[in-house]
C-alpha cells in the first residue's frame, strides 16, 4: 500500500466528523489500492480548526477552505459545508485538479449541479456525491437482486424519506430553511433527494413527475426571537414515472412525527417484492412468488458476509451495521475510484438527475401539472 | 328483544357467507334493539339456494332475487352480488321499502351511486355500504384519537390497499376484469375504494386528485383458453388533497407480490402519528410527541375492551379479532341504525363521495391533470 | 343435515358467551355432519339465565346445572364454570351419557383429571378440553410442518404464556387466586397449562421437569377491603425435557407487564425454526435452512385458505382470524368427533398429561429437584 | 490530548481486526483523556504480522506475543486469542505491569479467571473483559431505566444468546469444540457467557442455577476428513435465581436455525417491561404501566443522542449503530478507565462471576440438581 491519497475535508460539523471517522477506519476495514491520509481539515475559523483537526486525526488545520482547495499536496477534497457553498468550493477544488467528494444535495439547483458536473468532466477529475444510504449492504443487495431478476420485472416503486427533526414549530430558523442557503426545496431538497437518488439507483432514471410540497410551520423564531419566514417546504408528495414506465409515489418530510430515519422503499416486481426501512438498516424484506403458495411470506434477510461489503466489517451476519459504516463504504469507493479506476456512482453527472427531479417537482407545483424531466434537461443544454 | 328484523340476503358466495356468519352471531355478541332473523337467501339458481340456505341458517331460499326484494316479510335486504347488479337490486329493494346493506363498491360509477342514494333518501329507508374495514376497533380507535386531538392537527395521510390475488398472469378472466361488470376501475374500484372510504372516514372529504392507473397483465385466458383483454387496471397511484388542505398519496394494487390484505394507513399530525396495517388488524401504532424525548417511540396498542366494540367479542385485550368480526359489527350497526335510529356510515350518500373520487382518478388519467371532485359533483347535480 | 346435536352449556360468563357465539356460527362456517342446536343454558341463578339464554340464542334456560346435566334431550354438555366445579359437573354429565366439552384446566389436580378421564372412557362418551389456542390455523400449520419434517428433527422448544391482567396489586381477590377454587397452581394452572398442552401437541409428551413458581403480590383486597392471602403463583418458570430428549424452558405469568396474550413458542429443528406469537395470531414465522444462505431469513407466513380450517372463514389470506374463530373450530371438531367419529384432541385422557406436568412442577418446587412425570403417573394408577 | 496510551494487540483474526477498527476511530468519535496509539500487533507468525499491522494501522508487528507482553513501550495489552491462551497471556502482561483488555470468555474455568483477577488486583492494573454487547446504547439505556425505577421492581428476567453458525453438522471440527481449547462449556461458555454477563449487568449477581446442556451434533469432520468427537455443548438451558430473588430462564445455542445474533432479553418489573433483541440493536422496547390503559403498548425507542454514547457517533436518532461501534465504546471506556480513573465493568473480577455461573451449570448437569454459586465461590477461596 505504497501510494497515499491525501484528503482535505472542508467542514467539521456533523458530516465533517463522519468523514473523519470513516477516513480513520477505512484502511483497517478494507484492503485498499491506496492509503487515505487525513491531511488537512478546514473550518470557518482557524482557532477551532486546530482542536478539531487533532481530535479528528488530521495532520493540519486551516481556517481557509480556499487554501485547502488550492493546496498542492491534497489529492481529494471532501465538502461538508452548507449547500449554498458547494458550487464555489467544488469548482475551486476542480480547478486545482482535485478529485471531489461532495455532500448531498449537490447544489441549489440542477443548473448549478450541471455546471459542477461539466467542470469536473472537463478537468477529468473523479467525483462522488454523498448519497450514503445506497452504500448500505442491504440496499446494494436489493440492487443485485433486481439485476438478477429475482423479483421479475419491476411494476411499482414507493419511496419515503421521513424524519421529524423540525416537527416542533418552536425550533429556531436556520440556513436550511432559507431559499438562498438551503434551497427553494426544503424536505424536497434535503431529504427527498436521498430517496430520488435511491429510486434512480434501483429503478433507473425518472421521466416525469407531478406533485406538491407544503410548508406547515411557516414561521420560526430567528436569532433575536422575532418570527422569520420559512422559505422552503416541510413536506413533499409526488408521483414519479420512470423511463421504464414504472409508476409510484415518493414523499419526504421533516415534520413526520416519530420517524427518525424513515428512508423506506418498496419495489414490487412481477415475481416478488423487496421492502426496506433504514430504521432497521441491517434487514431487507424479500417476498418471492417462487416459494410454495402455502409457505410463502416476506422473509427478513439479515445482512451478512455473503452480501456486499458487510464481511469486511464483521464476519457474523446480523451483528449490526451503523451509520458511519456507510460512510466508510463511501470512502472505500472514493479511494478505489481514484486509485483503481473503479466506477463511482453517483458522480456529479449522476446527481444532476436528482437535481432535475427536484426542480421538476417545484415546477409541477407552480404550474399544477405533470412535468417531464426532459423539459428541464433541454433547458440546461441550451 | 321482542322486535324482529328480517333479513334477505342476495348472493351466497364469499360475502353472502360472511353476512350469514355475522347475522348468526351478532345477537350473541351484542345487546341489540331488535333481533335479526335470517329469513331468505337468494341465489342465481333455486337448487343451490336450498342447500346454502340451510347451511347458512336461513329459513327460506329462492332462486329469484326479484322475489326476495319484493317479499313483504323482509325488512332488510343485503346485496352481495357482482357490482354491475347492485343498482338494479338496490332500486328494487328500495322501491319495496326495504332498508339496504350493499357491498362495496356501491356501483359502477358515481352517477349510478348518486341515483341509488337519491332513491333511498326519497323512500326514507336506511342504507349502509359494506366498507367493513372501518368497523375494525383499531380503526375506530384511530378515528376517536384524531377527534380527541391526540395527534394534533393532521398534516399528512398515506393509504394503500395492496393485494396480490391477480399477480399471476395465467389466472383466468373474470367479471371483475370487465368494464361493464366489475367497473372501468379495477384495483381502483375494487380496492382503492376501501382506502378512499377510509381516508374520508379519518380525514374528511377529498377535494382533488391527480394520478394514473396501469394494467400490467393486459390479457388473461378466457373460458375457452383464448386470451381476452383485461378492461381495467391492476394498480393505481394518485395524490389526494383533502378539503382540509392535507395532502398525501394513495395506492392500490391487485398484483402487489406478497401483500394479502395490505390495507395500510398512516396519519401524521402536528403532535403525533397513527399507523396501521390490516394484516396486523388488532394493532394500532401510535407515536405521541407528548412522550419524553428520550423515551418516545411508536407504541403498539393492542385492541382490547377499552376500545370500540372489542369487549363484546372478548374480554381480554390482544386475544384476536377476525375478518368476520368486522362484518358482525356492521350487522350490529345496521340493526341499531334501523331499530334505534343510530346514524349509519357510510350510507349510500356517503359512498357517492368514494365513487366520485374513483371517477376523478379516471378523468385525471385521461386528461393528465389535477381534477377537483367538485367538477364531477356539479355534473351529477345537473 | 338432518341430525341434530343438542348442546347444553353451563356458565354464561366469558367462556359461556364464547361457546354460544361459536355454536351460533359454526354451521354457517363449516359443512357439518350434524347440526348443533343451542338447547339449554344453565347459570347459577334462574333469573339471569332466561335473559342470557335469549341473548345467546338458546331455546331454554335453567338455574340448575344438575337439571341440565340430567336432561335426556341434551347430547353434549359444555362446561364453562370455575375449575373447582369441573369434576362434579363432568361426572354428572358423563353419568347421564352426555359427551362433554370442558374448559381448561380440566381439574384441580391430575388425580381429579384422571378420575374424569376414567369415567368418560368407561361410559364411552366423547370428550374435549378447551385448549383453544391449538385450533388456530397457524398452530395447526406448525404441527403439519413438523410432521412433514420441514424443520428436520426438533432440538429445542421454548414456550411462554404471559399476560398482565393481575399485575396491579390493588386488584381484588377472586376464586382464581384461592387454592381450593382456582388451584394450587395459579399462573401455572391457568396459563402454563395452555402452553404445556401446546408443547405436548407439537413435540409429544414431557418426561421430566424442574422449576419454581412465585407469588409476587402475596395479598389482595377481599370483598370487605381486608387483605386476603393469595394462595397460588403469579408466575412460573420451569425446564421441560420431552420423552424425545428435546429440552427447553416454559414460563407463564399473570403479571407480565405489557403482555396481553403472550402465548408464544419457538420450535428449533435441525433444518429450520418455527416461531409464533398469539398476539399476532394470523402469522407463523418460518426459517428454512433449505433457502440459499444469502437469501435466507425468517419468513412471515400469513395464514390463508391453503392452511387448516382458515378457508372456511374467509377466502383471502391474511384477512384476519379472531379469538372466537378458534372456539368455532373447537365446536366443529366436537360435532365431527361425535357425529362422524373424528378423533378429538385433547380428550380428558390427553389432558391428564398436562395436569401431571403441572403437578410435577409443584412437586419440583417443594422438593427442589427434577421430577419425572412417570413418578406421578404411577401414583395415579395405584 | 498530550498523553498517549500505547496499545499492543495479540491476534489479528476477527476480534483483532475489530479492536483495530475501534482503536483507529475512537479518538475521532469521543473526546478522550489520552490518545490511544496502535503500537504493536502480534500474530502467531511474523510474516503475516507485518501485512496485517500495516493494514490495521499499527506501527509495529511481531510474531511473538511474549515479546509484545514484555515490551516496555506498551501501556495496554488487548488479547484476542483462543480462550485457552487467555490466562498465560494475561498473566504475562500483568506481570509486566500492563493494563489488559481481554476477549470473552475470560478463561476456561472460574478457577483460571479467579487467578487472573487476583494477579491483576495484586499488580494494580486495570482490566476489562470484552463483553461488548453491554456497551450498546440501547442496553446502557435499559440499565439506566432500571436504576431509575422506570419499570418498578424487577420480577422476571429472560435471556437468550442464540446463533446458528454451527447448525450444519458437516462443518469441520475447530478449537472451539474441544474442551481443552475452547472450554468444556461450548455454547454455554462462548455464547451464554454474554447473556450471563448481561443478566449480571442488568439484574445483579446470580445466586443459583439448574440446567442442562446438550451436544446435538456429536461428531464433526477433522482435518483429515475423519470424524472427531465434539467435546462441548451445542445448546444450553438453565434457570437462574438472582440474589434479589428474581427468577428466569437463560438459553444459548450455536445451532438455533435462523438466529444470527439472537442475544435477547426481557426484564419484567412491577411497573413495566423492557425487551431487546440484538438483531435490532438500535431499538429498545418499553412498556410502561403508567400509560393510560387504553393507550398503552410496547413502544420502540430508537436510540439517539439523548441516550448513552450514541450522540458521539451520530446526531440523528435512529440513524444506525453497528457492531464495531460497540467495540469503539469499549475502547473509550478502556482509555478513560486508565487515563481518567473511570470505573471499568466488567473487570476480570466481575467476569469471575460469569465463569462461576458457567461452572455451576456444568455441575448442575453432572449432579442433576440446583447449584448455588456460593458453593463454587467458596471452593475458589480455599
Start-end of H helices in chain C: 14-29, 46-56, 65-70, 86-95, 110-123, 137-147, 187, 193-203, 310-313, 323-339, 348-367, 373-380
Per residue, what are the HEC states of chain B? CCCEEEEEEECCCHHHHHHHHHHHHHHHHCCCCCEEEEEEEECCCHHHHHHHHHHHCCCEEECCHHHHHHCCCCCEEEECCCHHHHHHHHHHHHHCCCEEEECCCCCCCHHHHHHHHHHHHHHCCCEEECCHHHHCHHHHHHHHHHHCCCCCCEEEEEEEEECCCCCCCCCCCCHHHCCCCCCCCCHHHHHHHHHHHHHHHHHCCEEEEEEEEECCCCEEECCCCCEEECCCCCEEEEEEEECCCCEEEEEEECCCCCCCCEEEEEEEECCEEEEEEHHHCCEEEEEECCCCCCCCCEEEEECCCCCCCHHHHCCCCCCCECHHHHHHHHHHHHHHHHHCCCCCCCCHHHHHHHHHHHHHHHHHHHHCCCEEHHHHHHHHCC
- Grid cell, residue A302, equals 439479515
Does one domain contain both C78 and C209? no
Rounded distance, CA A281 to CA D280, Å?
9
Could you give the strand order of the β-sheet that contains A4-10, starting from the edge strand earlier in sequence?
A: A60-62, A35-42, A4-10, A76-79, A99-102, A127-129
**A29 lies in some domain:** yes
- How many Å lie between the alpha carbon of C299 and the closest alpha carbon of chain A? 4
Please report the pLDDT score of residue D60 as a whole number. Answer: 96
Instruction: Work out the average pLDDT over D237-260.
Output: 98
Closest of C327, D272, C260, C325 to residue B306, by C-alpha: C260
- Beta strand D227-229 pairing with A247-253: unpaired
The torsion angles phi and psi of B201, rounded to 5 degrees, stand at: -60, -45
In terms of domains, do A128 and A172 share one? no
Of B28, B282, B304, the CB nearest to C57: B28
Contacts of A316 in chain D (CB under 8 A): 163, 165, 260-261, 323
Other CB atoms within 10 A of residue C204 CB: 14
The enclosing H or E element of A139 equals: helix A137-147
How many angstroms away from the CA of C132 is the closest CA of chain D?
25
Q: Is the Cβ–Cβ distance between B46 and B62 less than 8 Å?
A: yes
pLDDT attached to residue A2: 59
In a domain, B67, yes or no: yes
Which of B114, B132, B150 delimits the end of a domain? B132
Compute the nearest-CA separation of A177 from chain C (Å): 41
Report how far residue C285's alpha carbon sits from residue C296's, in angstroms, rounded to the nearest whole number. 13
What percent of chain B is predicted at pLDDT more than 90? Answer: 94
Q: Do A118 and A170 sit in the same domain of this protein?
A: no
State whether B147 and B217 are in the same domain: yes
Which pLDDT tens digit goes with each residue over B181-237?
878 999 999 999 999 999 999 999 999 999 999 999 999 999 888 999 999 999 999
Task: Identify which of D294, D297, D306 has the shortest CB distance to residue B300.
Answer: D297
Domain end position, chosen among C105, C132, C159: C132
Cβ contact, residue pair C155, D298, below 8 Å: no
Confidence band of B45 (pLDDT split at 50, 70, 90): confident
Domain identity same for B82 and B162: no
Q: Cβ contact (<8 Å) for A304 and D280?
A: no
pLDDT at B127: 98
Query: Which pLDDT score is estimated for A186?
Result: 96
- Classify residue A172: in a domain, yes or no: yes
Q: What pLDDT sits at residue C1?
A: 47
Q: Kindly indicate the confidence band of residue D44, based on its pLDDT and cuts at 50, 70 and 90.
A: confident
Give yes or no: residues D145 and D121 share one domain.
no
Nearest by CB to B306, from D293, D298, D299: name it.
D293
Query: For residue C46, what pLDDT is reported?
Result: 66
pLDDT of residue A49: 86
Nearest beta carbon to residue A322 from set D283, D302, D313: D313
Beta-carbon contacts of C145 under 8 Å, excluding residues fewer than 6 positions away, are C151, C274, C286
Please count the residues of chain A.
Answer: 382
User: B286 vs D307: CB contact, 8 Å cut-off?
Assistant: no
pLDDT at C2: 60
Kindly determine whether residue C297 and residue A293, on different chains, have CB atoms separated by under 8 Å. Answer: no
Q: Cβ C167–D270 below 8 Å, yes or no?
A: yes
Return averaged pLDDT per consecutive 10 residues of chain C, 382 residues in all: 88 96 97 97 83 94 96 98 96 98 96 98 98 98 98 98 97 91 90 98 98 98 93 98 98 98 98 98 97 96 97 93 97 98 97 98 98 96 82
- Mean pLDDT, chain C, integer: 96
Cβ-Cβ contacts under 8 Å for D186 (sequence gap 6 or more): D176, D177, D213, D215, D230, D231, D232, D233, D234, D236, D254
Give domain status of residue C94, yes or no. Answer: yes
Helix (H) / strand (E) containing A140: helix A137-147
CB-CB neighbors (< 8 A) of A18 in chain D: 314
List, for residues D97-130, the tens digit of each pLDDT value.
999 999 999 999 999 999 999 999 999 999 999 9
Confidence of residue A108 (pLDDT cuts 50, 70, 90): very high
Maximum Cα interatomic distance, chain A, rounded to a whole number of Å? 66
Look-up of cell digits 464476519? A315
- B127 and B170 belong to one structural domain: no
Contacts of C52 in chain B (CB under 8 A): none
Average pLDDT over every residue of A133-140: 98
Report the percent of chain A where pLDDT is more than 90.
94
| Helix D110-123, helix D373-380: angle, nearest 10 | 50
Report which of B196, B191, B266, B289 is spatially closest to residue B233, judged by C-alpha positions: B191
Average confidence (pLDDT) over A93-108: 97
CATH number assigned to the domain comprising residue A75:
3.40.50.720
Contact: D155, C216; criterion CB under 8 Å? yes
C-alpha to C-alpha distance for C328 and C25, rounded to whole angstroms? 7
Residues of chain B with Cβ-Cβ distance to A297 below 8 Å are 258
A250: nearest Cα among A332, A159, A328, A339: A159
pTM attached to this predicted model: 0.97
Per-residue cell: A282 = 441491517
Checking if the pLDDT of B1 tops 60, the result is: no
Phi, psi of D207 (to 5 degrees): -100, -40
> What pLDDT, on the 0 to 100 scale, is given for residue B48?
81
Alpha-carbon distance of A44 to A122, in angstroms, equals 29
Q: Which residues contact D174 (CB under 8 A, 6 or more apart)?
A: D182
Flag whether C97 is in a domain: yes
- Nearest CB neighbour to D155, from listed C235, C268, C368: C235
Question: Contacts for C294-298 with beta carbons within 8 Å, 24 or more apart?
Answer: C294/A301, C294/A304, C294/A306, C294/A307, C295/A150, C295/A286, C295/A299, C295/A301, C296/A299, C296/A301, C296/D258, C297/A286, C297/A299, C297/A300, C297/A301, C297/A302, C297/D258, C298/A299, C298/A300, C298/C273, C298/D258
Are C104 and C144 in the same domain? no
Mean pLDDT confidence for D5-32: 96
Residue A338 counted as domain residue: no
Q: What is the pLDDT at residue A382?
A: 80
CB A348 within 8 A of CB A127: yes
Band of pLDDT at residue A46, cut at 50, 70 and 90: low
Looking at residue C291, its pLDDT comes to: 95
Q: Are residues B101 and B183 in the same domain?
A: no
Nearest by CB: D57 against A27, A163, A318: A27
Chain A residues with CB under 8 Å of a chain C CB are 150, 286, 291, 293-302, 304, 306-307
Give the pLDDT of residue D2.
Answer: 60
Cβ(A303)–Cβ(A318) below 8 Å:
yes
Which residue does chain B place closest to A238, by CA atoms?
B239
Which domain, by its residues, includes C214? 134-322
Q: Which of B235, B249, B271 sits opposite A237 (nearest CB)?
A: B249
- Give B246→chain A minimum CA distance, Å: 9
Tell if the CB–CB gap between C297 and D247 is shorter than 8 Å: no
Inspect the interface and report whether the beta carbons of A314 and D18 lie closer than 8 Å. Answer: yes
On the question of a cis peptide bond just before residue A348, with omega within 30 degrees of 0, the verdict is no
Q: Which residues of C touch D258 (CB under 8 A)?
A: 272-273, 287, 289, 296-298
D239 with C249: Cβ contact below 8 A: yes
Q: Do B318 and C27 touch (CB under 8 A)?
A: no
Residue C292 makes CB contacts below 8 A (sequence gap 6+) with none
Backbone angles phi, psi at D324, to 5 degrees: -70, -25
Work out the average pLDDT over A203-214.
Answer: 98
> Is residue A1 over pLDDT 60?
no
Query: How large is the average pLDDT for residues A333-360?
Result: 98
Render pLDDT for A252-263 as a digit per residue (tens, 0 to 9).
999 999 999 999
- The contact set of B with C (CB < 8 A) is 1, 14, 17-18, 20-21, 24-25, 27-29, 31, 54-57, 163, 165, 260-261, 278-282, 302, 304, 313-326
Position B175 scores a pLDDT of 87
Question: Best mutation site among B268, B269, B270, B272 for testing chain A: the one with the most A CBs within 10 Å?
Answer: B268
Beta-bridge partner residues of B268: B156, B273
Looking at the fold, whether C32 and C114 belong to one and the same domain comes out as yes
What's the CATH code of the domain at A173? 3.30.360.10
Residues D307, D184, single domain; the answer is yes
Listed residues A287, A302, A322: the one ending a domain: A322
Q: Which residues of C162-186 are buried (b: 16+ CB within 10 A; e: fewer)?
A: bbbbbbeeeeebeebbbbebbbbbb
Decide if A295 and C299 are in contact by the 8 Å CB cutoff: yes
Tell me how close the Cα of C164 comes to any Cα of chain A, in angstroms. Answer: 27
Residue C113: inside a domain: yes
Residue among A168, A239, A251 minimizing CB distance to B211: A239
Q: How far is C298 from chain D (nearest CA, A)?
A: 7
- C-alpha D293/C-alpha B306 separation (Å) is 8
How far is residue B284 CA from its own chain's centroid? 20
For chain C, which residues lie within 8 Å of any Cβ of chain B, measuring from their own Cβ?
A: 1, 14, 17-18, 20-21, 24-25, 27-29, 31, 54-57, 163, 165, 260-261, 278-283, 302, 304, 313-326
Mean pLDDT score, B44-62: 88
Residues of D whose CB is below 8 A from B296: 299, 301
Least-confidence region, from A172-176, C44-48, D11-15: C44-48
Question: Is D345 contained in some domain?
Answer: no
Number of domains into which chain A is organized: 2
Whether residue D183 is found in the same domain as residue D247: yes
Residue C328, C-alpha cell as written in the block: 368455532
Q: Which residue has the cell 356501491?
A: B106
Amino acid at each position: 500500500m505504497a501510494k497515499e491519497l491525501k484528503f482535505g475535508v472542508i467542514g467539521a460539523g456533523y458530516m465533517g466528523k463522519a468523514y473523519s471517522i470513516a477516513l480513520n477506519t477505512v484502511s483497517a476495514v478494507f484492503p485498499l489500492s491506496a492509503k487515505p491520509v487525513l491531511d488537512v481539515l478546514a473550518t470557518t475559523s482557524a482557532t477551532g480548526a486546530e482542536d478539531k483537526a487533532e481530535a479528528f486525526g488530521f495532520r493540519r488545520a486551516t481556517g481557509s477552505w480556499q487554501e485547502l482547495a488550492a493546496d498542492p499536496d491534497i489529492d481529494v477534497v471532501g465538502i461538508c459545508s452548507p449547500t449554498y457553498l458547494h458550487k464555489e468550493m467544488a469548482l475551486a477544488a476542480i480547478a486545482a485538479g482535485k478529485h471531489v467528494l461532495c455532500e448531498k444535495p449537490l447544489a441549489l439547483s440542477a443548473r448549478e449541479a450541471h455546471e459542477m458536473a461539466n467542470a469536473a468532466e472537463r478537468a477529468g477529475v473523479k467525483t462522488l456525491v454523498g448519497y450514503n444510504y445506497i452504500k448500505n449492504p442491504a440496499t446494494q443487495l436489493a440492487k443485485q437482486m433486481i439485476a438478477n431478476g429475482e423479483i421479475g420485472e419491476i411494476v411499482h416503486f414507493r419511496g419515503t424519506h421521513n424524519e421529524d427533526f423540525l416537527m416542533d414549530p418552536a425550533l429556531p430558523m436556520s440556513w436550511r430553511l432559507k431559499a438562498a442557503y438551503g434551497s427553494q426545496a426544503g424536505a424536497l431538497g434535503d431529504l427527498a433527494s436521498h430517496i430520488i437518488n435511491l429510486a434512480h439507483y434501483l429503478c433507473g432514471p425518472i421521466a416525469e413527475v407531478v406533485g406538491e410540497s407544503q410548508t406547515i410551520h411557516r414561521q420560526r423564531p430567528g436569532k433575536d426571537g422575532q418570527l422569520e419566514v420559512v422559505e422552503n417546504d416541510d413536506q413533499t408528495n409526488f408521483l414519479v414515472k420512470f423511463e421504464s414506465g414504472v409508476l409510484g409515489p415518493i414523499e419526504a418530510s421533516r415534520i413526520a412525527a416519530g420517524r427518525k430515519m424513515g428512508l423506506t422503499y418498496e419495489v414490487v416486481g412481477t415475481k416478488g417484492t423487496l421492502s426496506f426501512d433504514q430504521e432497521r438498516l441491517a434487514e431487507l424484506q424479500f417476498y418471492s412468488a417462487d416459494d410454495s403458495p402455502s409457505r410463502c411470506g416476506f422473509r427478513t434477510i439479515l445482512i451478512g458476509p455473503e452480501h456486499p461489503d458487510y464481511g469486511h466489517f464483521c464476519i457474523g451476519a446480523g451483528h449490526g451495521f451503523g451509520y458511519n459504516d456507510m460512510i466508510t463504504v463511501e470512502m472505500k469507493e472514493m479511494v478505489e475510484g481514484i486509485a483503481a479506476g473503479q466506477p463511482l456512482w453517483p458522480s456529479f453527472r449522476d446527481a444532476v438527475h436528482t437535481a432535475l427531479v427536484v426542480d421538476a417537482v417545484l415546477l409541477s407545483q407552480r404550474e399544477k401539472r405533470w412535468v417531464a424531466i426532459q423539459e428541464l434537461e433541454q433547458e440546461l443544454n441550451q
